[in-house]
Amino acid sequence: MERKRKVRRKSFAAREDYLNSMNEIAKENELSLYGFVNQVFALTLRANELGINLNTLVDSRELLKSARERGFTLGLERLWYEMAELAYGKSEKKSLKSWFDAGVWFAKQYV
């Protein structure tokens, strides 16, 4: 039977308010603070191995969430263009009106 290797522990200092907040999150997820902090460290190391900066990761997630809440969807570009061409071929006037209306909406949201 293989013996488990003893994992050494180290202490570190962090802001009390951060640790209190992390402790609350840990409890909500039925984890100990130790387990939660180790999970955060493991995910940080994993992101680093993938060449991902945590700030960029969180910013990207916020962008995707915001886009979804505003009605954007992810789609296949090639399919999107094919469908646009089919719609335009079937009804040029309605297609142009739809594209125009979408452009107006987009400008109001982001310009």
Query: What contacts 7, CB < 8 A, 6 or more positions away?
Result: none
Do residues 80 and 53 both lie within one domain?
A: no
Q: What is the pLDDT of residues 69-95, one digit of tens each?
A: 988 888 899 999 999 999 999 999 999
In a domain, 2, yes or no: no
In which band, very low, low, confident or very high, does the pLDDT at 10 lie, cut at 50, 70 and 90?
confident
Q: Determine contact, residues 15/22, Cβ cutoff 8 Å.
A: no
Segment 41-53 mean pLDDT: 94
Write down the mean pLDDT value for the chain.
Answer: 91
In a domain, 6, yes or no: no
- The pTM of the full predicted model, rounded to 2 decimals, is 0.63
Range of 100's domain? 75-111
* Number of structural domains in the chain: 2
pLDDT-based confidence at residue 35 (cuts at 50, 70, 90)? very high
